[in-house]
């Protein structure tokens, strides 16, 4: 190989390793500007708008939380145990006398605009005049403005007796209604309201004095009342189909059992704290 040809090959090899020439400032700025133009524009939301948006999301939850707290703080429940009675004074000074094994519930926080009581058992209501007063028991609602009335609600039966004023009783499903004047009663059973009839003076609220009067009452109901009033357990034969007309008071257990059992040709004996009722 000639000397000239060798030198030419060396020069070409050196050129392949040469560092590229750096860009000048204008080329660099143009390249940066082009890159910036490719970035999407970002909108900036003012802080006060962000706050309003957050509030719009949180307010419904805060309202629900406040409502639930308000409701449960005002919720009141009272229960008269078997063998006892209990007087409950409501927020408007109306009062309720609870018979044995009776429970009521109302909300003191909403009472000023919704006088409503839920109950199960038996209670005598003495209501001060004011806005509508409602008692929900079973499938019936009793409504008054101010009066005295008795509500019995056990099993699938509700009985309402008006002692003073005027009472409206409504079936919550069928919307059937009846009006009770003093001395009248109605019975709600199987979604039907019975035509109002007169209640005997002896039976109207007599339980408040510890006296219980019955006219053609299912005997099982009477035995259950004995159990509640004396807070005892009673085991009996099948009493279905038997009705009782008579009376007992809660002054003496033995006497009460005799008054109920003997006319029905039944006998009773106490064994290990349990009353066992059998045929004579």
Which tens digits make up the pLDDT trace of 103-160?
Answer: 999 999 999 999 999 999 999 999 999 999 999 999 999 999 899 999 999 988 999 9
User: Which pLDDT score, from 0 to 100, does residue 226 have?
Assistant: 97
Question: Is there a single domain that holds both residue 194 and residue 267?
Answer: no
- Show the tokens assigned to 75: 């919720």
- Show the tokens assigned to 212: 């219980």
**Residue 2 resides in a domain:** no
CB neighbour class for 125 (10 Å; exposed up to 12, middle 13-18, buried from 19): buried
User: Which pLDDT score, from 0 to 100, does residue 202 have?
Assistant: 81
User: Which pLDDT score, from 0 to 100, does residue 191 have?
Assistant: 82
Kindly report the CATH number assigned to the domain that includes residue 263: 3.55.50.30
Structural domains in the chain (count): 2
Question: Is there a single domain that holds both residue 144 and residue 215?
Answer: no
**Residue 51 resides in a domain:** no
Segment of 39-48, 52-61, 218-227 carrying the highest mean pLDDT = 218-227
Domain range for 194: 75-198
**Residue 39 resides in a domain:** no
DSSP codes of every residue in 132-192: -EEEEETTEEEEESS-EEEEEEETTEEEEEEEES-EEEEETTT--EEEE-TTEEEEEETTE
Name the residue with tokens 């005799």. Answer: 258
Q: Rounded distance, CA 136 to CA 141, Å? A: 5
Which tens digits make up the pLDDT trace of 191-247?
Answer: 889 999 999 888 888 999 999 999 999 999 999 999 999 999 999 999 999 999 999
Residue ranges of alpha helices (H) inside the chain are 3-15, 25-37, 47-74, 219-230, 253-261
**Residue 204 resides in a domain:** no
**Residue 264 resides in a domain:** yes
Question: Is there a single domain that holds both residue 172 and residue 147?
Answer: yes
User: Which pLDDT score, from 0 to 100, does residue 39 have?
Assistant: 46
pLDDT tier, 190 (very low <50, low <70, confident <90, very high otherwise): confident
pTM, two decimal places:
0.74
Mean pLDDT of the chain: 85
The answer to whether the CB of 217 falls within 8 A of the CB of 243 is yes
Domain final residue pick, 177, 198, 219: 198
Beta partners for residue 178, in sequence order: 169
**Residue 16 resides in a domain:** no
**Residue 203 resides in a domain:** no
Which tens digits make up the pLDDT trace of 2-16?
Answer: 556 555 554 554 554
Domain final residue pick, 141, 172, 198: 198
Question: Is there a single domain that holds both residue 161 and residue 264?
Answer: no
DSSP 129: S
Domain final residue pick, 143, 171, 198: 198
């Amino acid at each position: 190989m000639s000397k000239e040809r060798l030198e030419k090959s060396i020069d070409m090899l050196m050129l392949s390793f040469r560092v590229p020439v750096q860009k000048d400032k204008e080329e660099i700025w143009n390249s940066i500007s082009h890159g910036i133009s490719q970035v999407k524009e970002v909108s900036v939301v003012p802080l006060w708008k962000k706050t309003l948006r957050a509030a719009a999301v949180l307010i419904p939850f805060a309202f629900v939380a406040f409502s639930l707290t308000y409701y449960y703080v005002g919720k009141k429940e009272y229960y008269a145990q078997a063998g006892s009675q209990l007087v409950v004074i409501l927020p408007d000074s109306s009062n309720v006398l609870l018979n044995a094994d009776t429970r009521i519930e109302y909300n003191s926080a909403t009472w000023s605009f919704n006088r409503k009581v839920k109950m199960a058992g038996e209670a005598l209501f003495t209501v001060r005049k004011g806005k509508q007063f409602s008692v929900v028991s079973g499938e019936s609602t009793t409504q008054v403005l101010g009066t005295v009335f008795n509500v019995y609600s056990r099993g699938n039966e509700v009985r309402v007796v008006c002692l003073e004023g005027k009472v409206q009783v409504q079936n919550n499903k069928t919307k059937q209604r009846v009006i009770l004047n003093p001395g009248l009663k109605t019975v709600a059973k199987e979604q039907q309201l019975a035509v109002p009839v007169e209640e005997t003076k002896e039976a109207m609220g007599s339980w408040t004095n510890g006296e219980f009067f019955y006219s053609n009452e299912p005997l099982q109901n009477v035995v259950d009342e004995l159990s509640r009033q004396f807070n005892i357990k009673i085991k009996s034969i099948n009493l279905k189909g038997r009705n009782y007309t008579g009376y007992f008071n809660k002054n003496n257990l033995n006497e009460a059992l005799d008054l109920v059992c003997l006319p029905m040709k039944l006998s009773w004996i106490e064994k290990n704290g349990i009353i066992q009722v059998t045929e004579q």
